[in-house]
Amino acid sequence: MNHRRQAVRGLAAALATLVALTAAGCSSKAKSGDAKETGAGGVKMGEGVTDTTITLGALTDMTGVYATLGKSVTQAQQLWVKQTNAAGGICDRKLELTVRDHGYDPQKALAAYTELEPKVVGYAQFIGSPFVAAVKQRVDGQDKGLVMPQAWSASLLGSPYIRVLGATYDVETINAVDFLVTEKGLRKGDKLGHVYFEGDYGENALKGSKYAAGQAGLTVVEQKIKPTDNDMSAQVAALKQAGVKAVLVSAGPRQAASLVGVAAATGLRVPVVGNNSAFAPQLLGTQAGPALEKMYWFASPSLPIGADTPVAKKLAADYAAAYPEDGLDNGVVAGWTAATAFGEILKKACEKGDLTREGVSKALLILNAHDPGFGMTHDFTDPKSPSSRQSVIIQPDKKAAGGMRTVREPFVSEAAKSYTF
Amino acid sequence: MSTFAEFLINGLSLGSIYALIALGFVVIFRATEVVNFAHASLLLAGGYFVAVLHEPLGFWPALAAGTAGAAVVGAAVEFLVMRRHRGADHSVLAIVTIGVDILLATELTRRIGTDILALGDPWGDAVVTVGPVTIAETRIAALLAAALLITAFLLAFRHTSWGVAMRAAAESQETAALMGVRLGRVSLGAWAVAGALAAVAALFLTVFPTPGLERGTSLAALKAFPAAILGGLDSTTGALAGGLIVGVVESLATGYQSDLAFLGRGIGDLAPYLVMVAVLLIRPAGLFGTKELARV
Amino acid sequence: MSERPRIPPKAYARAAAAGLGGVVLLVLPFYLERFWLQAGLFAMAAAIGAIGINLLTGATGQLSMGHAFFLAVGAYGYCALAGDGTDGLAGLGLPGWLAAVLAVGLAGLAGGVFSPIAGRLHGAYLGIATLALIFIGQHVLFNAHDLTGGYNGRAVPPLNLLGLTFDDSELLVAQVPFGAVEKLWYLGLALLLAGVLFARGVLRGRPGRAMNAIRDHRIAAGVMGIPVARHRAAVFVLSSMYAGLAGVLLALVFQRTVPEYFGMALSLEYLAMIVIGGLGSVAGAVAGGIFVALLPQVLNRYAEALPLVSAPGTGGIAPGEAARYLYGAAVVGTVLFLPGGLARLVARTPIHRPSGETR
């Protein structure tokens, strides 16, 4: 009997305490008023900003499908944070980059976003466009933190808070087709093969290639593949049978290497152009290396890491010094440009005295000529457009720095200028 | 027509690699009645050993070492994990192999990192042209290797004492044990053999026309599941037939995807599973599998 | 004088603990930050799905690797039934609660359609045949643009129940702002409780015994008069309905469907959950589900504090990798060292009987 009474008493006491505490609003979550604090330097502060630090979030993939990209982008951004802090920080505050690895798992990506959301001003890195699409509603609806994804899909356009840095895949593909037509002898009436990934990357690029083909009088021969496909023999055989005069590849580096290698070996010696995610310097060491140097080009939203600009040279040197075992690739450029753009926006917001999320997005909307030193100027004033429509055409070259050299400087083709999303 | 022939030949050669992987499955299933979901990582392990060793040792010694290494890994899995619960429910054992697969795969992908490793094979990207059809030398080698190994196993199962012991253990473990068959040896041998076969399959999966060994290579092993099931999980002939069928179906479906676009694009990956389900509806134990008979 | 049978003190302690636990669960949304509430919701959905696969694989012995397919049917079914067509995709515009119920039914129907095929197959053959469902599902999800939104997925219409909308519009309760996760928390708890009670009822009654008989001695069960095929089909349907319910809850938490999510890895996760938790036990399924769902979240969150695990970008073992090691080790270790799973671990505490004997 005693046990029973004790148990009931204890339970009742606990219950009462908890209810009382809750009703009294004794919870750290309870709203205590909407005071937006003004902090050091007379600057209004919001999430992720204190008197001494500004925190940025990075949602990356270091262990999943995009591990190569994730590693380069993260390390480049960590390097930028270190250098900026050494130079005094931004707005008299030190920068901090909180990195979370979601391993390309939707649940982990959402959890990481939710975890960091109250603690950061915005996200300088967000890999995985399906996940960005998944949180778009939250970002536009109530969170309003600036997100700079490393995914160039046009489906991400249209939000003032999610800003893609550089030409989207469809625009990039249109520019690539222009390169093929003007420099690689593709003529009206020819067939153009397009091997593309299932998903927004490939299908967005396909939209671009179909538009460009329509403008130039070409026919597109499609071959959809999955990211797990590594052997392109069947695709090459089908394209050969269709009699294509050039091939576009909107897939990953491995698929591009397999495609080019098989094409070269089986006699389909036509120019192959890939999108920016379809090359990695490691490929030059594989069997497809020689073929890649002869018949492969790829488009990119910025100059490569081995470019001849002072910023590129300094970045290459600093990155190699900080991470001597990791190769230089365009992921480093992508991470760096996103970080510097974010830094630029924060500086402008600081000048205006408002480091809240609204202040940051206001500063973003007036930034119309940001040049991170990689050949492009970015214009963020229109959320419905990407920040630039320019592309660079790059050719793999074992002897060049970063394994690649620029073949055509930043340009926008006529078709890309007239393209609407 | 020549394209059809090219798709067909490509499919057969790809199918022979799947047959090798499926054979490893079948060997384990016949000896221990366990479905081995860790086969993909055994494959990756074998390929990794060859990739790492081919520079110091040269290709053929590295291949031998890699095969042996994968066999050791397979045997280790059997000795440390599978043997401890021989009597357990088969679903549980299958799920344990999933756990083993995760452990092995995580370790290997961590070591491979973001590299694409070459295996240093002697065939390179050479191709052979017979009339209008071109086929890579590596694929011819794969066909020959698969044919050789599968024939060897068919003969071994029938004529060697190890093969007989394995068939006896597959029929009834208790009776076999009573008859003097060392069950531990049989299953250890089966796992080691499966590891070795997976290493050979890894070789052919990472040479031309694929760029090299990297973390996603093991996913190709997944395609051998429908091959093994389709042929019958306890039949070596079934592994061969299933592998070839899956390879041909995949190659044809991928090649003709423009014509099949009404079914949705990218049907190449799905087609083998549809064929498998169709076969299972007619023959629930696979084409060559033994039908389960129960006397009440 | 006949002594009234004394209810053992341990039972009171258990009841008190359960009651306290229940109260704590009810007030957690007032204290925990959103990250943990969301993780908890993922865990609840995982637990519901785990109960389903447990009925199928643990209790009836039908190895199924197609569980993720039925989750997708539930999630996308809810979107299609409740969607109002403003995003250009097919939608019937039904009220949220009705769409949820029908989506669960739809998942059950899908299970029913597949069950004759499942009925003819056994063991590994069934396991890999169900794998075909995953591939078919992925193909449809990526290609049937008008219904599923293709690679983009669909926006999930928020649930509207009794005038309360479970979306991010703020609701002040005791001065704490309630967003979608806080509101969904209570819904999740209610669904989980209902799911647990129902499954318990099934397993403890005659159907449960029939299912276990089918798992252990299929032929003998048939000889004894148990309609084997009918039970197997019925369990398939029931397990699919649980998966559909988990899918609906997940869709509500995500607020947008991601087609890549419903792949083979998810199915394997559910199998791991029931092995870690203990095959054949509802409590085990819930424990396994919570463990597998929360482990990577905890590791990712506290990466800096753990030895050996390094923060991303600094080399060493990444938290994602550490989570996978632990996960794989848990599956293997449970079978080797803890054959009954987590459920058996808890049940090992002896219960004192009134007559003094201990069990």
Q: How many cross-chain Cβ pairs, A to B, lie less than 8 Å apart?
A: 119
Average pLDDT over chain A, rounded to an integer: 89
What the block records as the tokens of B203 is: 């070789």
- Of residues A355 and A4, more confidence is placed in A355
Whether residues A357 and A283 share a domain: the answer is no
CA distance, residue A181 to nearest chain C CA (Å)? 30
Say yes or no for a CB contact (<8 Å) between B212 and A286. yes
- Of residues C2 and A286, more confidence is placed in A286
Whole-number pLDDT of residue C280: 84
Mean pLDDT, residues A178-194 taken together:
95
Distance, CA of A406 to CA of B90 (rounded, Å)? 58
Residues of B in contact with C123 (CB under 8 A): 35, 90
> Residue A36 — very low, low, confident or very high, per pLDDT cuts 50/70/90?
low
Whole-number pLDDT of residue C355: 46
Mean pLDDT, residues B11-28 taken together:
91
Nearest CB partner across the interface for B211, out of A63, A228, A254: A254
Whole-number pLDDT of residue B150: 87
Whether residue A360 is contained in a domain is answered as yes
What the block records as the tokens of C225 is: 């008069």
Say yes or no for a CB contact (<8 Å) between A265 and B10. no
Residues of A in contact with C20 (CB under 8 A): 11, 14
Residues of B in contact with A228 (CB under 8 A): 216, 219-220, 269
Whether residue A14 is contained in a domain is answered as no
Name the residue range of residue B74's domain: 2-217
Say yes or no for a CB contact (<8 Å) between B280 and C121. yes
Whole-number pLDDT of residue B133: 81
Residues of B in contact with C143 (CB under 8 A): 264-266
Q: Does the structure show a pLDDT above 90 at A298?
A: yes
Whether residues A413 and A268 share a domain: the answer is yes
Distance, CA of C166 to CA of C248 (rounded, Å)? 13
Q: Model-level pTM? A: 0.91
Distance, CA of A320 to CA of A323 (rounded, Å)? 5
Whether residues A234 and A259 share a domain: the answer is yes
Whole-number pLDDT of residue C269: 93
Q: Does the structure show a pLDDT above 60 at A406?
A: yes
Please check whether residue C105 is in contact with residue C238, taking contact to mean a CB–CB distance below 8 angstroms. no
Whole-number pLDDT of residue A179: 96
Whether residue B233 is contained in a domain is answered as no
Considering only CA atoms, which of B89, B38, B74 is closest in space to residue C274? B89
Mapped onto helix, strand or coil, the DSSP state of residue C352 is strand
Whether residues A121 and A197 share a domain: the answer is no
| Cβ contacts of C337 within 8 Å, gap of 6 or more | none
Query: Which of A206-215, A395-404, C222-231 holds the top average pLDDT?
Result: A206-215
Distance, CA of B216 to CA of A251 (rounded, Å)? 14
Q: Does the structure show a pLDDT above 70 at B148?
A: yes
Please check whether residue B226 is in contact with residue B127, taking contact to mean a CB–CB distance below 8 angstroms. no
CA distance, residue B277 to nearest chain C CA (Å)? 6
Q: C114: nearest CA in chain B?
A: B277
- Chain segment A330-386, per-residue pLDDT in tens: 899 999 999 999 999 999 999 999 999 999 999 999 998 899 888 889 999 999 999
Whether residue A369 is contained in a domain is answered as yes
Whole-number pLDDT of residue A2: 66
Whole-number pLDDT of residue A18: 67
Mean pLDDT, residues B41-48 taken together:
94
Domains identified in chain A, total number: 2
Whether residues A365 and A401 share a domain: the answer is no
Whether residue A7 is contained in a domain is answered as no
- CA C274 to chain CA centroid, Å, is 10
Q: Are strands C160-161 and B133-136 parallel, antiparallel or unpaired?
A: unpaired
- Chain segment A228-283, per-residue pLDDT in tens: 888 898 899 889 989 999 999 999 999 999 999 999 988 899 999 999 989 988 88
Count of residues for chain C? 359
- Chain segment B149-173, per-residue pLDDT in tens: 988 988 888 899 888 888 888 778 7
Whole-number pLDDT of residue C351: 42
Whole-number pLDDT of residue B93: 87
Which residues numbered 222-281 in C keep a CB inside 8 Å of some CB on A?
254-256, 258-261, 265
- Most A CBs within 10 Å, among C141, C152, C172, C298, to test the A interface: C152
* Chains with at least 3 CB pairs less than 8 angstroms from chain B: A, C
Whether residues A52 and A84 share a domain: the answer is yes
Whole-number pLDDT of residue C350: 45
- Chain segment B238-259, per-residue pLDDT in tens: 999 999 999 999 999 988 887 8
Q: Does the structure show a pLDDT above 90 at B114?
A: no
Whether residues A264 and A280 share a domain: the answer is yes
Supply angle C-alpha A389, A395, A398, rounded to 5. Answer: 145
Helix intervals (H) in A328-410 = 330-351, 357-365
DSSP string spanning C133-169? HHHHHHHHHHH-HHHH-GGG--BPPPPEETTEE-SSS
Whether residues A409 and A280 share a domain: the answer is yes
Whether residues A173 and A157 share a domain: the answer is no
Q: Which residues from C are below 8 Å from B when comparing CB atoms?
A: 57, 61, 63, 117, 120-125, 127-129, 131-132, 135-136, 139-140, 142-144, 215, 219, 223, 264, 268, 271-272, 275, 279, 317, 321, 324-325, 327-332, 335-336, 339
Q: Does the structure show a pLDDT above 80 at B295?
A: no
* Chains with at least 3 CB pairs less than 8 angstroms from chain A: B, C
Domains identified in chain B, total number: 1
CATH number at residue A79: 3.40.50.2300
Q: Does residue C30 belong to the interface with chain A, where contact is any CB pair within 8 Å?
A: yes
Whole-number pLDDT of residue C357: 42
Name the residue range of residue A414's domain: 169-300+394-418
Rounded mean pLDDT for each run of 10 residues along chain C, 359 residues in total: 65 82 89 92 97 92 93 96 88 91 97 90 88 94 90 90 83 84 93 95 90 87 87 93 97 93 94 91 94 89 71 69 89 85 71 42
- Most C CBs within 10 Å, among B277, B287, B290, to test the C interface: B277
Nearest CB partner across the interface for B84, out of C132, C144, C336: C336
Please check whether residue A29 is in contact with residue C28, taking contact to mean a CB–CB distance below 8 angstroms. no
Whole-number pLDDT of residue A171: 96
Q: Does residue C131 belong to the interface with chain A, where contact is any CB pair within 8 Å?
A: no
Whole-number pLDDT of residue C35: 93
Mean pLDDT, residues B207-228 taken together:
86
- Chain segment C162-197, per-residue pLDDT in tens: 878 888 888 888 778 888 899 999 999 999 999 999
Distance, CA of C330 to CA of C245 (rounded, Å)? 27
